Amino acid sequence: MKIGKTTLELEQGDITDLDCDAIVNAANADLVLGGGVAGAIRRKGGTAIQEECNRIGRINVGEAAITTGGGLKARHVIHAVGPRFGEGDEDAKLASATLSSLKLADRYKLRSIAFPAISTGIFRFPVERCADIMLSTTISYIRGRTGIERVVFCLYDSDTFNAFRRKLASLT
């Protein structure tokens, strides 16, 4: 769908296969590419991404940092640190991680960005709640002044994809 000048898409699949300016990594605060989305990024993108993360060091929950895309089709990886469910103030922290990623994409003049469902894996954030927060935050941002032309939510499994599809339908 088109919101302002930006196309918003939902896609089911592997985010590491997308050809866009940046994919978002559901990162931990230490920027160690371990399992889940981060592990897939490390395996497909190569060691250059982790080496750059090591130089950046630690970032706080709700913040984002950018690195090369290494061997990925995406030219950059934006590492967004989402909250662990139960740590407190999770909704605001997830909104901040989403917003930080979008602002970083604009700062680097990126035209396309793809998000996973941040914090829904080992951080156990409820998928429906994640969909509501991430989509609402993104729609609000792209209604304003942005150079981002395409935002993709790339969801790995059908349950997560369907949760995002239902939420998007209710928001528009």
When pLDDT is cut at 50, 70 and 90, the band that residue 121 belongs to is: confident
- Is 17 a residue whose pLDDT tops 80? yes
Closest to 62 (Cα-Cα) out of 35, 88, 23: 88
pLDDT digits (tens, 9 = 90+) for 42-75: 999 999 999 999 999 999 999 999 999 999 999 9
User: What is the CATH topology of the domain spanning 2-171?
Assistant: Leucine Aminopeptidase, subunit E; domain 1 (3.40.220)
- Is 34 a residue whose pLDDT tops 90? no
Closest to 145 (Cα-Cα) out of 1, 5, 27: 5
What's the pTM value of the predicted model, to 2 decimals?
0.95
Quote the CA–CA distance of 9 and 54 in Å, as a whole number.
32
Per-residue pLDDT, 35: 82
